[in-house]
Chains A and B, each alone.
Chain A
């Protein structure tokens, strides 16, 4: 069944879009990720304009993270103070992201920056995850027990000024790295159409040393509100949020996530991380190939003014 998208101004097969939302939702439930980094490329590769794909996925991420936030809220596994300070950074980063997005769009280099960023970030993070999960699997096979985290371990981040106490996370750190981290994730999320959980969670654990039971809820809470801000900034700035596309993706996504979450319970953590690492690397590679091989068509056009601009 064909459905006309009011903002993208093209008809799409609603079942294909619904299926994509469902498939990515399944993977996000399986791995406990937002899935924006999979959904945005899928939409771009299937012919939705990149600007519409990025902006619309920010809305979809709001839906997928809000259902999880409710669960973590009930379990009281969110550090509200930490999340709020991350969020201040996130909104700032998102605002800068939308402005840069429009500048890049007008000079015709938006697609290039999206591709390059995907290659860089997915390549780096996929590589790290692959390395880490292979090591974990080896260690499990050889029967060695992983080293426990030493309490009171410090790094350079803990030497920065403007320290604040986060009771829930049992932390006493400077707000500078917290705002900075929020801003970087908000900025990337807005430009790339990703929630950024797969970058936020490791950063909170390894850089700020937030306890693992608090990390996911806090990260989701901050992603929810940063992406809500990104949706509003995109609506006002680039005007490329397609509400019909977003709704279709959301419904497919939340249903798929339920099945994914159930299946994820039957798989080992390190195996899951290995699969996720391969997935992340695969998407990054796909973007790299497009940048390196000679394109079929050297020319492209973009409407700048008038009907449909």
Chain B
């Protein structure tokens, strides 16, 4: 086991060294913080991603320089999107589409228009841009094929309205010729879990380098305690809630006693 790990390490180091010549170290990124803590006063925050892209050898016939895209993706969720329809004169949920393993949070920042970074196929493959994220639906969907796009659009629109999905083209700023930075806002309703921060360096519509980092969003202190208790020791949590309620009621009865 340990020898296996060692061997793997040597191999990785060897291949890494070999590729470093051309691609791997063209892009270096760092996060302002590796963790986001949610406390009782949490009202949202932002993370700063900065990095350096080594100069790319410009071919004389290519007009542009390099382009960057940074994607922040939250832990996956299964989400049902429902559409209301009239039923006996009332507006009720009728059709539903379940999206599986979609990001709970998705933000992308880039140096330019996302569609100009690379081919549509490449962007689909890498999941860059709200039009290119993979929204897989469950097999047992009862939605007509012609309506599926409506559900996808509604899903992305609702997530955008909640601030959980966003696209910020031209939001990556260059500080020098090679140094860049961008701010990704994290709204107050972000789900907890492990986030991935993926940075992509494009040149001439080709991906030439990428980096990946993790960002942990976690509740801490009292918020974490009560959440853990509610999830894992729900009976204890329920009893505590009842005890607190009875105590509050009893205390009020004592304080405001009239007779």
Binding site for B on A (CB under 8 A): 2-4, 6-7, 9-11, 59-60, 62-71, 74, 108-109, 111-112, 116, 224, 228, 231-236, 239, 241, 243-244, 246-247, 250-251, 254-255, 257-258, 290-295, 297-309
Contact = CB atoms under 8 A, between A and B. Distances in A.
User: Dominant SS at the B interface?
Assistant: mixed
Interface centre among B82, B157, B231, B250 (most CB of A within 10 A): B82
A236 B232 CA distance: 9
Contacts of A304: 77-80, 98
A254 B96 contact: no
Contacts of A235: 230, 234-235, 237-238, 241
Rank and list the top 10 A-B pairs by shortest CB-CB distance, nearest first. Answer: A235-B238, A66-B249, A306-B77, A254-B252, A232-B238, A307-B191, A62-B245, A67-B253, A299-B154, A305-B78
A243 B245 CA distance: 10
Contacts of A69: 249
Interface in B138-171: 151, 154-155, 157-159
A250 B188 contact: no
Contacts of B240: 243
B47 to A, nearest CB: 17
Nearest to B189: A10
B77 to A, nearest CB: 4
Contacts of B42: 4, 11
B231 A239 contact: yes
B244 to A, nearest CB: 7
Interface string B169-189: 000000000000000000011
30 contacts: A2-B41, A3-B40, A6-B227, A7-B226, A7-B230, A10-B189, A59-B242, A63-B244, A66-B249, A67-B250, A108-B80, A108-B93, A231-B241, A232-B241, A232-B242, A235-B237, A236-B238, A241-B241, A243-B240, A247-B248, A292-B90, A295-B91, A299-B83, A299-B155, A303-B79, A304-B79, A305-B78, A307-B74, A307-B193, A309-B77
B39 interface: yes
A109 B78 contact: no
A4 B43 contact: yes
Contacts, number: 208
Contact of B223 (A6, A62, A247): A6
A243 B226 contact: yes
Nearest to A304: B78
A231 to B, nearest CB: 5
A67 B252 contact: yes
Contacts of A255: 252
B219 interface: yes
B38 interface: yes
A246 B235 contact: no
Interface string B76-105: 111111111100011111001010010010
A291 B40 contact: no
A230 B80 CA distance: 27
Given A67-B250, A232-B238, A299 B104 contact: no
Nearest to A11: B188
The interface centre, meaning the residue of B75, B76, B157, B223 with most chain A CB atoms within 10 A of its CB, is B223
Given A4-B43, A246-B244, A292-B89, 19 more contacts: A66-B246, A70-B250, A109-B93, A231-B238, A234-B238, A235-B238, A235-B241, A241-B237, A251-B248, A255-B252, A298-B83, A298-B154, A300-B84, A303-B104, A304-B78, A305-B77, A306-B191, A307-B76, A308-B77
Most chain A CB within 10 A, of B77, B80, B245, is at B245
B192 interface: yes
B5 interface: no
Given A67-B253, A108-B82, A307 B75 contact: yes
Nearest to B100: A305
A112 B237 CA distance: 29
A2, A62, A246, A301: most-surrounded residue (chain B CB, <10 A) = A301
Contact of B245 (A109, A250, A297, A309): A250
B86 to A, nearest CB: 9
A60 B245 contact: yes
B227 A7 contact: yes
Interface in B178-211: 188-189, 191-193
Contacts of A231: 238, 241-242, 245
A40 to B, nearest CB: 16
A109 B252 CA distance: 38
A254 B93 contact: no
Contacts of A67: 249-250, 252-253, 256
Contacts of A290: 91
B154 to A, nearest CB: 4
Contacts of A4: 38-43, 188, 223
B1 interface: no
Contacts of A251: 248
Contacts of B193: 307
